[in-house]
Amino acid sequence: MARGRALPESENISLRFVPRQNCTKPTHTQPTERAREAAEKGISMSSSAAGDGETVRASHILIKHEGSRRKSSWKDPDGRVISATTRADAAARLLDLRNQILAGQANFADLAARHSDCSSARRGGDLGSFGRRQMQKPFEDATLALKVGELSDLVDTDSGVHIILRTA
């Protein structure tokens, strides 16, 4: 896989590009209502979901759009802006943010805090540690394909469009 450009010295991490992932609907079946709902979202109910014990830590920036499963966010509680945002518009915004990061013009955490539709924005996009089957499959696959310090290309999930920075 081609290596991306390194972030400026102030960021002190290098980046590589990861191919865009397409969203696929999970097909889990669970006996309880709560587990069924989690499975529909592509999330495991297991607290130690990493089948092989592998855990990762990542930060992300999520931009929701009209096709997102939940059309509201901390920034847009009524979902008016999200419902009017096309997937192409969301992708263009994320590509601009990604280019700013790669060019050393902006810090990932600062951009996540200002632009991400995920509540992790208040933590600079930090999702904490997670293992297999705890995130939607395209997000998990993209994160696991990254090396520490690498920034993904665009990743589509049922939640919207993401860029992911693997931090551990």
The set of catalytic residues is 60, 118, 136, 159, 162
- DSSP state string for 103-159: TTSS-HHHHHHHH-SSGGGGGTTEEEEEETTSS-HHHHHHHHHSPTT-B---EEETT
Strand partners, 21: 155
* Of residues 104, 125, 105, the one with CA closest to residue 114: 125
Sheet holding 55-63, edge to edge: 126-131, 55-63, 160-166, 155-157
